[in-house]
Structure 1
Amino acid sequence: MDIIYYLASCDTCRKIIKSLPKEHDFKFHDIKQDPITVAEIEKMRELSGSYEALFSKKAQLYKSMDLKNKSLTEDDYKKYILEHYTFLSRPVFIIKDKIYIGNTQQNMLQVMKALV
């Protein structure tokens, strides 16, 4: 089953979800209400190639924790994503064992093509 990892309180995520085809059967995973498991993050990493690809450098905690001035490893990225949902770049779609990360226009076009 195709899945979307999102944040229910995020306006951008809500807008994207509204734009999805109604007939497509997604499993919706609100990462704030139901934190990501180690198995889920490891599957995402396997599909994306790295934890860094899943990590949001736009997160307010990234700035407030001064992480931009630290040299982070893959283990650090994984640890931070598991510790706090805000570090996951959102939304994350897994469609037919392909991963689509983030809300860029190009990424959303690829998601829509994958749903056809």
Structure 2
Amino acid sequence: MKKIYHLGSCSTCQRILKELEPLDGVQLQEIKSEPMTAAQVDEMKALSGSYESLFSKRAMLFRQKGLHEKELSEKDYKELILEHYTFLKRPVILVDGQIFVGNSKKTAQEAKEALHP
């Protein structure tokens, strides 16, 4: 299975999607208009190892809600990701049992190599 969770209004996500083209056979899920289910977040966690690894501490809501001053558990990270899409570190790219989380150059390059071997 090949799937990319992304935010359509995010210029970084748009740039990475362009770099990954062609996206034949890749299912795209725009997380603002099509929210993630608990099962999808659980699947991402199973591949990445933790909910924290999927969580974006750069989200504006992270500081607005005072979360940077709290000790968060794995359960908290999961609930926050499900509560608001901005808490997902994006894009999340799934390629045949592999997961690539975030927008670093290295991550994007590894995802491209997995999509186009």
Two-structure CA RMSD over aligned residues (Å): 0.9
Higher mean C-alpha displacement, 9-18 vs 84-93? 9-18
Q: Distance in 2 between matches of 1:107 and 1:100?
A: 6
Structure 1 position 2, deviation (Å): 0.1
Letter in 1 for 2:89: S
TM-score (normalised: structure 1): 0.97
User: Which residue does the alignment assign to 2:112?
Assistant: 112
Structure 1 position 83, deviation (Å): 0.2
Structure 1 residues 82-101: aligned runs within 5 Å: 82-101=82-101
In structure 2, the residue corresponding to 1:24 is in which secondary structure?
coil
In structure 2, the residue corresponding to 1:5 is in which secondary structure?
strand
TM-score (normalised: structure 2): 0.96
Displaced runs of 4 or more, over 3 A: none
Q: Distance in 1 between matches of 2:23 and 2:86?
A: 29
Structure 1 residues 1-116: aligned runs within 5 Å: 1-22=1-22, 24-115=24-115, 116=117
Q: Distance in 2 between matches of 1:112 and 1:38?
A: 27
Q: Distance in 1 between matches of 2:6 and 2:42?
A: 17
Structure 1 position 10, deviation (Å): 0.4
